[in-house]
Structure 1
Amino acid sequence: MLETQIILEGKRVRLIPASYEHLNELFMASNHREIWTYSPSTISKIEHMEKVMNKWMESKEQGFRYPFVIFDKNTNEIVGSSSYLDISLHNRNLEIGGTWLNPKVWRTRINTECKYLLLKYGFEDLNLVRVQFRTDTRNDRSNLAIQKIGAKFEGSFRQEMILHDGYIRDSNVYSILDNEWVNVKEKLLGFLLN
C-alpha cells in the first residue's frame, strides 16, 4: 500500500491526494461532456462525482488505486484528476490512468507535467520496473500523447470495457520499463523546457 500523503509538485501543477473536500471543485472541472467521450463513466451531476469519489476511496483503502487531484498553480484551481491504478508493489508495477482534464487546459503543459511527476515518483521513489497506460483505440489525442513521451505499444485488449453510452471499447496498452525511464525522462523534460 502506498503512503497516505503523496504530494507531487512541478512548475505549473501540484498533484494532491484526492479527498471529499475536493468534491465541488472536481465537479466544476469535470462537468464538460467532451471529457467523457471515451470513458466508462460520465459526470454531469454532483451525485455522479460523489459516486466516483466513493469508488476512489474504497479502491484506495484496498490498495488498488491512489487518486490525485490536479491543481493548476497558475489559476489556483483544480483542473482534473489522475491516478495510480492496479498497484502491485510486490511486482513493482502499476498503471497511470483515470486521467481527465478540464478542456480549458487541453494542449497545455499540464498533462505532460503530470505524467512526468507521476512517472518520476514511480520509477525513482517507488522503484517500479514497469508503468502502463491504457486508452481507447479511437482516442487519437490520447494515443498520440502516450506515444510521444516514448511509451511502447504492447497491443490491444479487445472489447475490454463498456462505456457509459453502451459502446464496447477496445483499449490500446502501452508501457515504460525502468531501463527506458532515463530516455523518457529526458524527452519529457525537453517538452517541459519549451
Structure 2
Amino acid sequence: MIKGEIQLEGKRVRLIPMSLEHLDGLFEASNQSEIWKYSPSEVSKPEHLEMNKKIELRDQGLGYPFVVFDKDVNEIVGSTSYMNISERDRKLEIGGTWLHPKVWRTSVNTECKYLLLKYGFEELDLVRVQFRTDARNERSNRAIQRIGAQLEGTLRQEMIMHDGHFRDSNVYSILDKEWDGIRDKLLGYLSNG
C-alpha cells in the first residue's frame, strides 16, 4: 500500500520515517513517566522503544512508524505510526502515538493527525482509519473525539498493561465519506492555533 519512503510536513511538524539513527532523540523525548501511564509498555531503556520491531513491520508492509519532529524547537518530540495496514480492505489504524508532555495541548498532535489522515484518504485512497485508546485515558479520548472520529465501542480486557492492569480499549473510526468535514475542522483548528 505504501510505496517507498514518505515524509509528511506541516507548518510545525515533520513526520519522518523512523530509522535507528533516531534512537537517541526518541529515547530522550520518551524519558517522561507520564507518557506511559496508559501504555501497554513502559520505556525506561532504549530497547523498550522496540524500533527494530516497528521497522520490520514497515518492511513487511504491515506498519509505518514515524518520528515526530517539532520544527519550532528543532528536536524530536515523539512518535506515531500507521498500524495494522490492510491493503485489501483499504484501511489502517493510526496509533502508537506518544508525545513529550511539553507539546501536550499544542498544535503538534492536531497537525500530526491532519497529515496522517490527509495522506491516508487522499493519497492511499483509504476507506477507513481507526484509532484505539485506553478507555481510562480521558485526554486521548477527548482528543480523538475532538477531531471527529466516531466511537464504535469498547474492547473489554483487550490487552495487559505493563503494570498488569487489563486494559479496555475504546475504538474510534473515520470513514472516507466523513473526511471532507473532518479535514475542514482540523484546518480550522490549525489556523486558530
Summarize the alignment of residues 1-194 of structure 1 with structure 2, pairs less than 5 Å apart: 1-49=1-49, 52-194=50-192
Aligned length: 192
The runs of at least 4 aligned residues of structure 1 exceeding 6 Å deviation read: none
SS of the residue aligned with 2:26?
A: helix
* Distance in 1 between residues matched to 2:44 and 2:6, nearest whole Å: 29
* Distance in 2 between residues matched to 1:39 and 1:110, nearest whole Å: 20
SS of the residue aligned with 1:42?
A: coil
SS of the residue aligned with 2:38?
A: coil
* Aligned residue identity for 1:5: E
Question: Deviations for 1:85-110, whole angstroms, at most 9, x for unmatched residues?
Answer: 00011110000000000011111000
* Distance in 1 between residues matched to 2:2 and 2:162, nearest whole Å: 30
* Distance in 2 between residues matched to 1:54 and 1:165, nearest whole Å: 23
* Distance in 2 between residues matched to 1:3 and 1:12, nearest whole Å: 25
SS of the residue aligned with 1:35?
A: helix
* Aligned residue identity for 1:42: E
TM-score of the superposed pair, with normalisation by structure 2: 0.98
TM-score of the superposed pair, with normalisation by structure 1: 0.97
* Distance in 2 between residues matched to 1:46 and 1:81, nearest whole Å: 14
* Distance in 2 between residues matched to 1:86 and 1:20, nearest whole Å: 21
* Distance in 1 between residues matched to 2:105 and 2:87, nearest whole Å: 32
Question: Deviations for 1:22-77, whole angstroms, at most 9, x for unmatched residues?
Answer: 0000000001110001111111122323xx10111121122111000000001110
Question: Deviations for 1:2-24, whole angstroms, at most 9, x for unmatched residues?
Answer: 22311000000000000000000
* Distance in 1 between residues matched to 2:17 and 2:114, nearest whole Å: 17
* Distance in 1 between residues matched to 2:14 and 2:152, nearest whole Å: 30
* Distance in 1 between residues matched to 2:60 and 2:47, nearest whole Å: 23
Structure 2 residue runs of 5 or longer lacking an equivalent are: none
* Distance in 2 between residues matched to 1:166 and 1:55, nearest whole Å: 22
